[in-house]
Amino acid sequence: MSTGRASLLAGAGLADLAKQLNGARKDWTGLHALLGALPSGRWTTYGDVASFVGSHAVLVGAHLATCVRRPHAWRVLTASGRVSAGFHWTDPTRTDSPADVLAAEGVRFHGGAAVLEARLSLEALRSLLDG
């Protein structure tokens, strides 16, 4: 996505976003590769993932909510380090929460938010696939 288009999306409301992207198809291959490279015990944000793949956090979240091929999606949290209210497992029989899984992987939580020490920044995400 071009920088101009990304800047247009950054200030867009959901209705405007839907109008701008009506009919648009996004190749999510890069997103899936990045998600597959996210290490156990670490987390990142929708915004950083969106920046990495040239998209918008809302679109990344919408894709993760509907795609069955989304490795390690529980490691993507809101900017405040919380599980998105819209997160759901693709397996309807799962009853654990993403926070439970992250805690089992070693991520500590304070006040319902994952600690920043376990967060992978945009720069760290870039190095995941470079190395």
Question: Does residue 130 have a pLDDT over 90?
Answer: no
| pLDDT digit string, tens, across residues 39-97 | 999 999 999 999 999 999 999 999 998 888 889 999 999 999 999 998 989 888 999 99
Domains and CATH numbers, the chain: 3-130 (1.10.10.10)
- And the tokens for 8? 């247009």
Cα(2)–Cα(53) distance, rounded to whole angstroms?
A: 11
Q: What is the pLDDT of residue 131?
A: 60
Nearest to 58 by CA among 69, 45, 68, 70: 45
Residues 106-122 have a mean pLDDT of 96
Residue bearing the bigger pLDDT, 1 or 12: 12
- Whether 43 and 81 have beta carbons less than 8 Å apart is answered as yes
Question: Does residue 11 have a pLDDT over 60?
Answer: no
pLDDT band at 129, cuts 50/70/90?
confident
Q: Give the 3-state secondary structure of residue 103.
A: helix
Residue that the structure tokens 């987390």 belong to: 43
First to last CA, the chain: 24
pLDDT band at 105, cuts 50/70/90?
very high
Cα(108)–Cα(41) distance, rounded to whole angstroms?
A: 9
Cα(95)–Cα(31) distance, rounded to whole angstroms?
A: 25
